[in-house]
Amino acid sequence: MPIKRVFQGSVDYLQVLDEFGNLDKKLEPKLKPDMLKKMFELMLLTRTYDDKSVKLQRQGRLGTYAPILGQEAVGVGAGLALQKQDWALPTYRETQIYYIKGVPLEKIFMYWKGIEEGLKYPEDSNTFPFAIPIATHLPHATGIAFALKRAKKKQAILTCIGDGGTSEGDFHEALNFAGVWQVPLVLLIVNNQWAISVPRSAQSASKTLAQKALGYNIPAVQVDGNDVLGVYKAVYEALEHARSGKGPYVVEVITYRMSMHTTADDPTKYRSNKEVEEWRKKDPIDRFRVYLKKKKLWTKAYEEKLMERIAKQVEEAVAKMEAYKSDPHDMFKYVWQEMSDNLKEQMAEMDKLISGGG
């Protein structure tokens, strides 16, 4: 009996703007100048917010924080590809998506300070709070996509996971469900080369992480994650695919975490400065600046004025965060839809302690 091939798959690599700012005109998304400037401004805002957050943590004014440095194109490109009606469930390193979806910057700061109200987002933002445990949110995102399909909504949900998260069972269970039920889910794998101290090479023998989707009959693409135009194009097309009823899509972005995993981490113990410096040459903001300059959309004066506005915006958000006063009653009021007798007793006991009665 002759041997016949029953499956063959491949994953394409997408890059619109290379590390030197050179453009592939055939792949360039047709975006208006205002949108291109918005991309640049959001990446600068992300870097400024990120730098401020690290400094606040070192000063004891924020809790443990997960830096974004080097990955600004991921959250900005993906976030701008979303439509208002779409849903988003990112991880803690794509907080730009929350901002783009309408979550105030001070709310994001509040979360990192340990103020739980920082996770109470505007209802029309169509976002869910991110989960710290790795990959546990993926089955939830798939369930939400299933609900959208059942309700016949022309909506999709974008969720994210790191390279290390693809080694978790939740990742595979979510993709298996998504593939079987053909739900409107876009899963963004943010391959930043390191899962804390574990390198990508120790996570999987797969040539790409995107190809894991093929085992679940889900299409996938790999894209240069430091190319904001490439990220936007890949995620936009994946969302269109999902939203139109064609099922889930996986996008793997290749980027690099130039800073520490979190402020509790010391990356010098497991990677070389030479490696970091090589990736610094691929900085997403630098290459996009070159692109804007060629299109006559950038000047030094424009960026200087922009940075003044961004610095003021970040400082105002920090001031709002630090001025916020939590209501301790909330820890009892929002456990269940209605407060139980036990919770009412505990809240009364707290009030007694606060008033000095015990």
Catalytic residue among 13, 58, 150, 270, which? 270
241 classed as catalytic: no
Annotated catalytic residue, options 261, 287, 289, 291: 261
Helix (H) / strand (E) element for 55: namely: helix 33-58
Tell me how crowded residue 12 is: count the other CB atoms within 10 A of its CB: 11
DSSP secondary structure, 114-152, as one string: T-GGGG---GGG-B----SSTTTTHHHHHHHHHHHHHTT
Distance between CA 160 and CA 343 in Å, rounded?
35
Question: Which among 257, 287, 289, 291 is annotated as catalytic?
Answer: 257
Active site residue 200: no
- CA 153 from centroid of its chain's CA atoms: 23
Name the E strands within the chain. Answer: 12-14, 87-89, 157-162, 185-191, 194-195, 198-199, 220-224, 249-254
Phi, psi dihedral angles at 248 (to 5 degrees): -75, 165
**Residue 33 three-state SS:** helix
Torsion of CA 192, 194, 196, 197, to 10 degrees: -160
Place of tokens 């996509």: 145
Note if 92 is an active site residue: no
| Structure-token pair, residue 331 | 């820890």
Catalytic center residues: 257, 261, 270
